[in-house]
Chains A and B, each alone.
Chain A
Amino acid sequence: MKVPARIYASEKILEQTESEALEQVVNVATLPGIVKYSIAMPDIHTGYGFAIGGVAATALPDGVISPGGIGYDQNCGTRLLLSEVNESEIKPRLDELATEIQKEVPSGLGRGRKIKLSIGQIERVLEGGAKYLVEKGYGEKEDVENCESGGCLSEADASKVSEHAKNRGRDQVGTLGSGNHFLEIQRVEKILNPEIAKIFGLFENQIVIFIHTGSRGLGHQNCTDYLKIMMRAIPKYGIKLPDRELACVPLSSPEGQNFFKAMCAGANFAWANRQMIIYYARLAWKKIVGESKLKLLYDVAHNIAKIEEHEVDGKKIKLCVHRKGATRAFPPGHPEILEKYRSVGQPVLIPGSMGTASYVLAGTEKSKDAWHTVCHGAGRIMSRHEALRRVSGQDIVKKLADEGIIVKCRSKKGIAEEAPIAYKDIDEVVDVVQNAGLANKVARLKPLAVIKGE
Chain B
Amino acid sequence: MRYKILNHQADLKIKFFGKNKNDLFQNAMAGMQTALRPKLETKRKKIVRKIRIQSPDPESLLVDFLSEVNYLNEANNEAYKGLKFNKFSDTELEAELLGEKVESFGFVIKGVTYHNLEIRQKKNGKWEATVIFDI
Contact = CB atoms under 8 A, between A and B. Distances in A.
Given A110-B38, A217-B74, A380-B10, A413 B106 contact: yes
Find the residue from A72, A112, A223, A228 having the highest chain B CB count within 10 A.
A72
Given A109-B104, A109-B105, A72 B111 contact: yes
A178 interface: yes
A151 B71 CA distance: 27
Contacts of A167: 71, 75
B71 A46 contact: no
B48 interface: no
A164 B103 contact: no
Contacts of B71: 164, 167-168, 221
B111 A224 contact: yes
A174 to B, nearest CB: 16
Interface in A327-354: none
A186 to B, nearest CB: 24
A138 interface: no
A73 interface: yes
B10 A72 contact: no
B95 to A, nearest CB: 17
Find the residue from B60, B104, B106, B110 having the highest chain A CB count within 10 A.
B110
Contacts of B8: 383-385
A117 to B, nearest CB: 13
Interface residues of A, number: 41
B133 to A, nearest CB: 10
Nearest to A106: B104
A165 B41 CA distance: 25
Nearest to A172: B74
Nearest to B77: A110
Contacts of A48: 111, 113-115, 132, 134
Interface in B72-127: 74-75, 77, 102-115
Contact of B75 (A168, A383, A414): A168
A220 interface: yes
Contacts of A45: 9-10
Contacts, number: 91
Given A110-B39, A221-B71, A178 B108 contact: yes
Nearest to A411: B106
A254 B131 CA distance: 30
B135 A179 contact: yes
A381 B5 CA distance: 18
Contacts of A110: 38-39, 77, 102-105
Find the residue from A46, A110, A220 having the highest chain B CB count within 10 A.
A110
Contact of A72 (B6, B39, B102, B134): B134
B9 A380 contact: yes
Interface string A52-77: 10000000000000000001110000
A266 interface: no
A383 B7 contact: yes
Interface in A365-384: 380-384
B75 A231 contact: no
Nearest to B56: A232
Interface of A: 18, 45-46, 48, 52, 71-73, 109-112, 164, 167-168, 177-179, 216-217, 220-221, 223-224, 227-228, 231-232, 244-245, 380-386, 410-411, 413-414
Given A217-B108, A244-B114, 13 more contacts: A48-B132, A52-B10, A110-B38, A110-B103, A177-B108, A179-B135, A216-B108, A224-B112, A245-B114, A245-B115, A383-B9, A383-B10, A410-B104
